[in-house]
Copies of this chain bind each other. A is one copy, B any other.
Amino acid sequence: MITPIGPHTNLEMNREVLYMTAKEESEENVIYVGNKPPMSYVLAVVTQFNSGSTEVIIKARGRAISRAVDAAEITRNRFASDAKVKEIRIGTEAITNEEGRTSNVSSIEIVLAK
């Protein structure tokens, strides 16, 4: 679902961010790794598998990338030994901050499948 944006939004940056958020929220089997402890994301992945998903994608950017790998490894070693690493993709995303400056940040997507 695409969130409509009012005419008061004149920054291209904001529009992109809103579109991306709307799109990503519709993907139920995607877990976004941030600054919480790794076990929070392990729990999210396991819950997703238990609800019937055969594939869960763990995504992270910047420093959270190491935590995403932790979450994938803890899931496989302790909670879902039948889950395999199907694919790992890395990439670079351009992020625009509030001052309009653009910087690059690395990203990772770890696809776990049963």
B69 touches A108 (CB 8 A): yes
Q: Is A72 an interface residue (CB 8 A)?
A: yes
Chain multiplicity (copies):
2
| Chain B positions within 8 Å of A64 at CB level | 66
**Cβ of A65 < 8 Å from any Cβ of B?**
yes
> Is there a chain B Cβ closer than 8 Å to A70's Cβ?
yes
In the complex with contacts A63-B63, A73-B106, A88-B88 CB distance below 8 A: yes
Query: How long is the Cα–Cα vector from A104 to B72 in the complex, in angstroms?
Result: 13
Which residue of B65, B73, B77, B85 contacts A69 across the interface (Cβ within 8 Å)?
B65
Query: Which residues of B have CB within 8 Å of A90?
Result: 69, 72-73, 85, 88, 110
Please, which residues of chain B bring their CB within 8 A of the CB of A37?
none
Within residues 54 to 113 of chain A, which ones have a CB less than 8 A from any CB in chain B? Answer: 62-66, 69-70, 72-73, 77, 85, 88-92, 104, 106-108, 110
Enumerate chain A interface residues (CB-CB to B < 8 A): 62-66, 69-70, 72-73, 77, 85, 88-92, 104, 106-108, 110
